[in-house]
Structure formats: C-alpha cells, structure tokens
Amino acid sequence: MLKRQPLQFYSEPLPGVDLSELQGKLIVIEGPDAVGRTTQVALLRQWLEREGHAVLDTGMARSALAGKGIKMAKEGNTLGPITMTLFYTTDFADRLENEIMPALRAGFVVLIDRYIYSIMARAIARNEDRRWIEQAAGFALVPHATYYLRAEVETLVSRVVLGRGAFDFWESGMDLRFGPDKYDSFIRYQARLIRALDSMVKPYEFTVIDADQPVLRIFAELRRRISRFLPRDSRRRRPSRTAVKAAI
C-alpha cells in the first residue's frame, strides 16, 4: 500500500466532502481487548484539554444509528461474523460522517479508541475475506497517527483476571468457539487478533507501542509522540504525576 497523506480517504471518497475543510488532528489508539486503550484515551484527553485543545473522543458501537442495535444484538450472542462486520462498519460510517468529520472541520483533536482496523482484524480473525473487508473499509480517512498498543496474550489474560475477573463472550471469540471454554477461546482468539493487527503495521503505518509496560510509561510515550505534531504552544504545560494517577 502506498503512503497516503493524513485526512485523505483510503480509496472510495464519501460524496460531498471537501477535505480542505478538515483542519483538526485524527489520532487512533489501536490494540487487542484488555490492552488498555480506553485508559490511555482518557489520559490523553485530559492532557490535551489541559493544553487548551478541543477534543472529541469516540469508539466502536457509540453511533446514534447503530450503537444501541449492536449492544442489543450482542446480548443475545447470536450475531454471525459477516453481520457483525457490517453492523460495526455501519456504526463507524455513521460516526465518521456525523461526529468525526464535523469535529475535524472545527479543528478538534479527535481521539479514536479503535478505528476501522479493529473491525478488519476481527473479521480476519473470524476467517472472513481480507480483500472484501479492506474494500468495505476504504471510505475511512487516513489518520495523522495510529498507535498500536501491542501486548502478549499472557498480559491480556492477567489484566482481565485482575481487572474484571471474568472473560467476555465476544472478547473470547465464543461465537465461533476457538476453545472449549472462555479462557482457552480468549487466548486463541486474541492471538489471532494480534496476528491480524501485526499484519497491518507496515501497510497502514502503525506506530507500535509496547503495552506490556506500566500505564504511566505508555502514556508518557504517547504524549511525547503526539506532542511532535501539535502546535508549539501546546507543549508548555505538562500534567503532574498526581493528576495522571487521579485519571486512571
């Protein structure tokens, strides 16, 4: 895949969009389940707002059009792989048109907890056709940066056990039963997700962050990298360690 400029469409552009109007920054935090994406987005938002930036944060299954429908469908544990992919792609398309692009036009920093790449990785992990899902996702905008929080499966398991204390049906890939129980299925499914995301590092220009590190160290690395393409006056103030810990 050829290198593309930020805020260009990957392939098929959405009709009626003037890309010259998009003045904000689009930053994606990617990674498998339980890797700590949501924590990092919360920390980054607090830091960016303290630095004077208007921030929108968004993530999967939050659209007005499809968010509630996805939640209801998942409660029944009956979604098929292709239906799931199309449902999440619809959710993303709605958020792109009605949340993400308006915020970029207004000059916001947009933080996204999982982008189209996670939808693609989930589909690939479920043995769907890679070419089809890449074509279906072609209306996505190229981010300014995609930070891939990468951790080994053993780290993800420990975080689930110490955090929630139970394995989620969908995060374990139990819809296809990759193992005899949620624990084994989680390990195998998350390993497949990680392989799928690993395969996107070069084509989609991910910056890989070692997510086996402590939370504050990951945040410090993300903050340092993001600071490079923000206006200089946004670098004057740094959050105190006490404020960072309070946000976790």
The number of folded domains in the chain is 1
Q: Please say whether the beta carbons of 188 and 170 come within 8 A.
A: no
pTM of this structure? 0.91
Q: What is the pLDDT of residues 164-193, one digit of tens each?
A: 899 999 999 999 999 999 999 999 999 999
Q: Supply the range of the domain harboring residue 78.
A: 25-230
Given pLDDT bands bounded at 50, 70 and 90, which one contains residue 2? low
What residues pair up with 210 in beta bridges, in sequence order?
A: 150
Residue 247 lies in a domain: no
Is residue 4 a part of any domain in this protein? no
Beta strands per DSSP E along the chain:
25-30, 55-59, 109-113, 145-150, 206-210
Residue 35 lies in a domain: yes
Is 241 inside any structural domain? no
Asked if the structure places residue 11 within a domain, the reply is no
Six-digit token pair at 203?
Answer: 């084509």
44-102 confidence digits (pLDDT tens):
999 999 999 999 999 999 999 999 999 888 887 677 889 999 999 999 999 999 999 99
Residue range 8-29, pLDDT digits in tens: 999 988 888 999 999 999 999 9
In this prediction, residue 121 carries a pLDDT of 97
Residue 18 lies in a domain: no
Which structure tokens are listed for 103? 């915020």
Are the CB atoms for 229 and 145 separated by under 8 Å? Answer: yes
Q: What is the DSSP letter of 240?
A: -
Decide if 1 is inside a domain.
Answer: no
Q: Which domain CATH number covers 63?
A: 3.40.50.300
Q: Say if residues 114 and 30 touch (Cβ distance below 8 Å).
A: yes
Residue 61: CB atoms within 10 A of its CB come to 17
Tell me if 6 is assigned to some domain: no
